Amino acid sequence: MTLLRFAPSPTGSLHLGGLRMALYNHLYSRKNNGKWILRIEDTDATRYVPGAVQEIQAVLLWAGLDYDFGPGKNGPHGPYFQSKRLDLYQDYAKKLLESGHAYRCFCSLDTLTETREKLARTGSNLTYDKRCLHLTDEEVARRVKAGEKSVIRLNDGTLPDRSTVRDLVFGEIRDAHLSLGTDPILLKSDLYPTYHLASVVDDHEMGITHVLRGEEWIPSLPLHLDLYASLKLQPPRFAHIPILLNPDGSKMSKRTGDVSVVEYIRNGWEPEALLNWLALTGWGARHQPMSPFSSSTAQRQVQAAPDSTSILPLPSLISQFDLTALTHRSSSLDQQKLRYLNRQHIALKAATPEGLHQLAMRVHGLVKEVFPHSLYASVENTKKAVVALEGRLENMAFLPVLVPYLFEDPNLASPEARSMLSSRKITEEQREPLNDMSQPETNPKSKQDQPREWVPETLYHVLHEEQKRLGVQLKMFMLTLRHALTGMKDGPGIVQIMCVLGKERTMKRLR
């Protein structure tokens, strides 16, 4: 079975890059009839943020990314917090010591700094002189018994040359070992593991078959493969995903509030639109897959990547997802595309009774807050407002600002309403006949044209006939009605507005 994991650290709010990584793990596992684990990598106690785990879970729930195993979901792979797996890491570190693939290092921080600087002055590529590697077993045992603090280092001298590594996205990566430090630390003096040891042990123990993670971990891939080899374990397949950048080209960070997923939730963005946006950012390459794990048939059948503004709900993203179509470079997020996608996803939801009700219920609290005294701030009226806005609604949070006149009387004293009057340049002689439509009792002809049914088809006919009867230009006629009904220059069509307002409110405003 295909099994993946999303392994965030609880050191702050989940940012957009983290949600995208969770999404890609979800897409790959579901497309391959697999499952995925939520694993919390909380071994760095100094950076732990209370409530971060609960926030991660809440964000994944909001986004509809339902992990199969993890906190709150029992499974055969637990515990799902690394801080509760410390004995396991120490057991594996002991195996490495016994096999000679690791050794204890007693050097102090001052000694390590001095050694590193000395090596750098000589032009050496080493970052440590391996002095503790040459300690005898008796000396090591004596110092451990005396209570001296030590770390456990990997003995890279026992490992094969690994000048290239393979990746499901980037293919063959050359000179991969050049970026590694000398004999990397695996277990710290406080008995907590480094990321390298913990992730390898957990991925093996949990049965992970594929690791999808950010490209910043590419330099560590050779080390992780070395650990698998030293422990005589079969490694999973690795896919490193190019990272997302802020619009200014800087790397995303949990300390940057404007990329926090929670902020996007608070600001009213649709989860489907956010996932659509994140998935398609960087998903657009059409290069041949270079992975040695892909079959020759798969390499011939390169699937065309979707356009960056394709409207793809989660099931469509799952069916179309293709690791080989990911770009090999970092990508910047385009907020304009999010606005476009959000508008389209709102329209898709509003087209079904269930989706429309969901949208209205979600924004109803905001409508009540903005119009606390309105008699028309109901869920049903909110639904009508969403429908009237059709494809105009970019964000549900904007609804009260776009159509306030659907919930309360328009402010005809506003600068916008006054500018509409001045721009029309309608004379008093022209203005007076327009009142006929709202005064049927004083105009028999107008009375005959009054709509018997307050439905779009009838209203279209009545307005057309009234405009012809008055002999007023269509643009002037519609602008006059828009001013009286809304006091705003832009918005839904007049007929749509009249349908939402109903006959009584419409006639009152015309009068």
Q: Give the number of domains in the chain.
A: 2
300 lies in a domain?
no
Q: What's the pLDDT tens digit per position in 260-277?
A: 999 999 999 999 999 999
431 lies in a domain?
yes
422 lies in the same domain as 473: yes
Phi-psi region of 51 (alpha: psi -120 to 50; beta: other; left: phi over 0): left
pLDDT score at 425? 52
Environment class of 48 (CB within 10 Å of its CB; exposed 0-12, middle 13-18, buried 19+): middle
- Catalytic sites, residue numbers: 254
Q: Are 347 and 309 in contact (CB under 8 A)?
A: no
pLDDT score at 442? 47
pLDDT score at 301? 41
Name the one residue in this structure whose structure tokens are 């997302």: 244
419 lies in the same domain as 500: yes
The span from the CA of 375 to the CA of 342, in Å, is: 29
Q: Are 286 and 327 in contact (CB under 8 A)?
A: no
Helices 379-389 and 494-510 sit at what angle, rounded to 10 degrees? 120
Q: What's the pLDDT tens digit per position in 75-102?
A: 999 999 999 999 999 999 999 999 999 9
429 lies in the same domain as 379: no
Name the one residue in this structure whose structure tokens are 């690394």: 82
**Would you give the end-to-end CA distance of the chain in angstroms?**
70
- We report the CATH number of the domain holding residue 504 as 1.10.10.350
Environment class of 31 (CB within 10 Å of its CB; exposed 0-12, middle 13-18, buried 19+): middle
Q: What's the pLDDT tens digit per position in 152-200?
A: 999 988 877 767 888 999 998 886 665 678 999 999 999 999 999 999 9
128 lies in a domain?
no
Locate all alpha helices (DSSP H) within 247-395, ordered by sequence. Answer: 261-266, 271-280, 296-300, 314-320, 335-350, 353-370, 379-389
425 lies in a domain?
yes
366 lies in the same domain as 420: no
367 lies in the same domain as 430: no
279 lies in a domain?
no
328 lies in a domain?
no
326 lies in a domain?
no
Of 281, 274, 79, 105, residue with least CA distance to 182: 105
Structure-model confidence comparison of residues 460 and 451, the more confident one:
460
The span from the CA of 146 to the CA of 136, in Å, is: 15
506 lies in the same domain as 429: yes
Mean pLDDT of 138-159: 94
pLDDT score at 420? 87
What does pTM read for this prediction? 0.87
Environment class of 318 (CB within 10 Å of its CB; exposed 0-12, middle 13-18, buried 19+): middle
Mean pLDDT of 360-379: 96
Of 294, 296, 374, 284, residue with least CA distance to 326: 284
333 lies in a domain?
no
pLDDT over 60 (residue 290):
no
* Amino acid type, 381: N
Residue 139, H or E segment: helix 137-145
- The whole domain housing 382 covers 352-406
Q: What's the pLDDT tens digit per position in 95-134?
A: 999 999 999 999 999 999 999 999 999 999 899 999 999 9
